[in-house]
């Protein structure tokens, strides 16, 4: 190979590596308006900051870059839908710091993802520390969020680890059904809006059939690599072209907001901070 050819290949390789590095440090903001039938009038225009799948990313000293992006959006509530840390991380003090800083912006509601479920002892210690800071840790339980004498019911589902992976890999995983949802979190509350936080968006049909009016989820990392006109390419379960990977989806009267997440490798798929403005329907 000639010297000019080698030089050209070297420059192309360097440029490609640089572009991939930029892609994995790029933090994007998406704003959606979501109509929720039956939403109480006092929740009209409320702003929900949706974060998910941070894993081991930092975004500056003390998460300054991430906090600045979140602060600019001026949220009323913060929903974090799992994988606050990666199973390989042992020092979780930085994650506690992040949640402390988010609490200064708005009340924080948090559910675990599959990485927390892989290290339950470590996760339990973090959950207790978060509760002491005032974070609402929803592990298969619900809370009312009140405003102006009205409320919505916020439900946090911790899906079983066998749904994500089994000893044999990704075969034979536990499917999420409306019946299993009732076993995990009970029935949806009648006569009010039920908002569900669930790490995995792929069982959308089961969540809607269970009775969720609005769902927030993550897990799929936007499909890791996104292709124009196609969308996300791969889910963590090694499923190609997952049906729900990023954005807002509707099914009957139910809507679901899926975050592309903040951590892990990605291409043409920037890390995502979401702001959802609630609208009456």
Contacts of 9 by beta carbon, 8 Å cutoff, 6+ apart? none
Would you list the DSSP string of the chain? Answer: --HHHHHHHHHHHHHHHHHHHHHTT-EEEEEEEEEETT--GGGTT-EEEEE---TT---SGGGHHHHHHHHHT--SEEEEES-SS-TT----HHHHHHHHHHHTTS-EEEE--HHHHHSHHHHHHHHHHHHHHT-EE-SSEEEEEEETTEEEEEEEE---HHHH-BTTBSTTPPPP-HHHHHHHH-PPPTTS-EEEEES--TTHHHHHHHT-SEEEE--SGGGSBEETTTEE-B-TTS-BS-S--SEEEEETTEEEEE---SSS--BS--EEEEEEEEEE-
Parts of the chain with a pLDDT under 70? 1, 3-25
Its CATH class, for the domain covering 29-280, is alpha beta
Query: What is the spatial distance between Cα 40 and Cα 37, in angstroms, rounded to a whole number?
Result: 9
- According to DSSP, the residues that pair with 179 across neighbouring strands are none
Q: What pLDDT does residue 21 have?
A: 54
Q: What pLDDT does residue 281 have?
A: 79
Q: What pLDDT does residue 16 have?
A: 44
Q: Closest Cα partner for 148 from 263, 42, 8, 59?
A: 42
Contact 219, 259 (CB under 8 A): no
Structure tokens at 8: 């050209």
Q: What pLDDT does residue 25 have?
A: 66
Q: What pLDDT does residue 15 have?
A: 44
Q: Where are the domains of the chain?
A: 29-280
Structure tokens at 87: 């199973």
pTM, full prediction = 0.91
Beta-sheet pairing, 226-227 with 108-111: unpaired
Query: What is the spatial distance between Cα 273 and Cα 135, in angstroms, rounded to a whole number?
Result: 19
Q: What is the pLDDT of residues 21-34, one digit of tens each?
A: 555 567 999 999 99
Contact 95, 82 (CB under 8 A): no
Q: What is the pLDDT of residues 103-157, one digit of tens each?
A: 999 999 999 999 999 999 999 999 999 999 999 999 999 999 999 999 999 999 9
């Amino acid at each position: 190979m000639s010297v000019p050819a080698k030089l050209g290949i070297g420059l192309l390789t360097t440029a490609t590596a640089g572009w991939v590095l930029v892609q994995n440090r790029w933090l994007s903001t998406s704003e959606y308006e979501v109509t929720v039938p039956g939403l109480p009038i006092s929740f009209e225009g409320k702003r929900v900051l949706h974060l998910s799948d941070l894993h081991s990313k930092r975004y500056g000293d003390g998460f300054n870059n991430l906090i600045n992006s979140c602060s600019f959006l001026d949220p009323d509530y913060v929903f974090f839908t799992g994988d606050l840390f990666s199973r390989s991380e042992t020092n979780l003090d930085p994650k506690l710091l992040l949640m402390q800083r988010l609490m200064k912006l708005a009340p924080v509601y948090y559910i675990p993802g599959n990485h927390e479920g892989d290290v339950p002892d470590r996760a339990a210690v973090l959950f207790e520390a978060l509760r002491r800071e005032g974070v609402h840790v929803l592990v298969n339980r619900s809370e009312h969020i009140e405003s102006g004498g009205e409320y919505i019911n916020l439900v946090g589902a911790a899906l079983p680890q066998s749904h994500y992976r089994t000893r044999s890999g990704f075969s034979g995983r536990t499917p999420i059904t409306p019946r299993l949802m009732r076993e995990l979190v009970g029935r949806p509350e009648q006569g009010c809006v039920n908002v569900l936080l669930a790490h995995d968006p792929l069982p959308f049909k089961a969540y809607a059939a269970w009775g969720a009016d609005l769902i927030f989820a993550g897990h799929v990392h936007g499909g890791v690599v996104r292709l124009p006109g196609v969308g996300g390419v791969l889910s963590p379960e090694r499923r190609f072209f997952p049906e729900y990977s990023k954005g807002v989806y509707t099914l009957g009267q139910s809507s679901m907001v899926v975050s592309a997440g903040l951590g892990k490798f990605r291409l043409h798929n920037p890390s995502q901070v979401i702001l959802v403005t609630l609208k009456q329907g």
